[in-house]
Amino acid sequence: VSGVQPSGNRPPRFSRGFLWQADDSMRSPPLLRLAVALVSVKRRSWTRPPQPYSLSLSLSSASASSHGPLVVRSTRHGRTTATLLSDDLYHSPSLPRPLASPLPSLSLLIWHTLLPTGFPTSVPRGYGWFALWFAAQDLTTVLRSAVATQRVLVGAGVGDAAASALSASINFLARDGAGMAGSLLFTAAASGQFGGDAKRWRIFADCAVDVGIALEVLAGSVGKGAFLPLLCLGNVCKAVCGVAAGATGGAINLYWASGKTDIADINAKFGAQNIVTGSIGLVAAAFFARSIVSCGPRILWFFFCLLTILHIYANAQCMALLAFDFPNVPRMNLLAYQFRNRGKVDRPASVARVEPLFFGLRRREDPPLPLRYGTSFEVLRSGRLHGDSAAARRLLAQHGKEGHVTAAVRRRGGWAV
């Protein structure tokens, strides 16, 4: 609150319209009413010319409670004077204390548990829709996983008098071993590609888990001979999803932490959201699996395919909200096309809505000679792109002392930069 210093010992008065700000510690209604009351007092005329004067409101160490004491600090010519107001101020007739209501406290608790601190101004635009679409796709996965678990148990012999516990244990051990092996092989093959193309790898991970769940549902409907191979292959797909989703999750969370909040708060709130979605999904999955088990295979596969389509669509909506501001291969292609045809490029939010999200799909906007941006020097030196490494070695020998080297090497279907 800004004002003027009066003459003598008269207290300062403030006129309407002065700018004031309330931080997070001034959310309680008594404090807000106190600030409004201070700002609303009319200013009197002074006998001396006014001098700069400032007044600030803050809470003591008990700022989390609306019952804590209030500190008023005034500053003039670099000298600060602090005044402690007792808790009796809250009981003043001019500032009545509101009745305690559990509903606002409960809603505030839910808000702080599920959403980042300072939402929505502390995170990039679109976080709310991202959380909703992410919860929707997570819910579809829980529902389909419940059906897959039921079909796997039937295929393992649950309820069959001829089946033994030993054979079921061997099947599950083989399934877990196949998943571990698939996770290691996929990590060794694709570990260096996740960071630069997080959106497409995330969609790839979701498609992989869709295939894995479908194979588990199918395994319970085929004969005994194909049950174990399908079960192992489905778990391999789930393991691939776990690796890709875990690797790309860091880049996604880091994007949402690019605002005023930190990555730890984003990770914690995503974990809380997953717990709430999983809890709702468990209750819904219990009724869904119980209802679907009595239906025929056609109805089962109809609902399964419907949930799978919803899962992929929800993930595509989530990825379209991630407006990364660094270029990769698909974004570089779009920017090159836009600059060549229009002489300007779109903002990251606009590019995020049109860039391809699936591997192998190209848009008409892609340039005829796509660029491979950020090619590794090791790949360039080895000549694996064009079959001749002599030119690359001469280039590195001539300019090796410089901080960087920019080169364009022709490869099949485009250029590597």
pLDDT score of 55: 47
Whether residue 65 is found in the same domain as residue 150? no
| Residue 115 is assigned to a structural domain of this protein | no
Tell me the three state secondary structure of residue 415.
strand
Whether residue 143 is found in the same domain as residue 62? no
75 DSSP β-pair partners: 54, 80
pLDDT score of 78: 55
pLDDT score of 82: 53
Query: pTM here?
Result: 0.65
Whether residue 49 is found in the same domain as residue 135? no
| Residue 14 is assigned to a structural domain of this protein | yes
pLDDT score of 69: 52
- In this structure, how many other beta carbons lie within 10 angstroms of the beta carbon of residue 25? 14
Whether residue 64 is found in the same domain as residue 210? no
| Residue 137 is assigned to a structural domain of this protein | yes
- Please tell me the total count of domains within the chain: 3
pLDDT score of 195: 79
Whether residue 71 is found in the same domain as residue 215? no
| Residue 34 is assigned to a structural domain of this protein | yes
| Residue 225 is assigned to a structural domain of this protein | yes
Whether residue 196 is found in the same domain as residue 316? yes
Q: pLDDT of 52-69, one tens digit each?
A: 444 454 444 444 444 455
CATH number at residue 304: 1.20.1250
The answer to whether 54 touches 39, Cβ cutoff 8 Å, is: no
Whether residue 139 is found in the same domain as residue 230? yes
What the block records as the tokens of 173 is 């051990």
Residues in the chain with pLDDT < 70?
1-104, 361-417
Whether residue 167 is found in the same domain as residue 197? yes
The domain boundary residue, chosen from 34, 66, 101:
101
pLDDT score of 106: 78
pLDDT score of 236: 96
- Rounded to whole angstroms, how far apart are CA atoms 254 and 259? 10
Whether residue 233 is found in the same domain as residue 372? no
- Rounded to whole angstroms, how far apart are CA atoms 352 and 372? 19
The domain boundary residue, chosen from 101, 136, 169:
101
pLDDT score of 345: 86
* Unique residue bearing structure tokens 């990770």: 267
Whether residue 279 is found in the same domain as residue 143? yes
| Residue 46 is assigned to a structural domain of this protein | yes
Whether residue 378 is found in the same domain as residue 242? no
pLDDT score of 73: 59
- Rounded to whole angstroms, how far apart are CA atoms 309 and 210? 10
* Unique residue bearing structure tokens 């901080």: 403
Q: Which string of b and e fits 286-308 if b means at least 16 CB within 10 Å? A: eebbeebeeeeeeebeebbeebb
What the block records as the tokens of 376 is 């590794």
**For residue 205, what are the domain limits?**
127-320
58 DSSP β-pair partners: 71
| Residue 215 is assigned to a structural domain of this protein | yes
Whether residue 92 is found in the same domain as residue 235? no
| Residue 356 is assigned to a structural domain of this protein | no
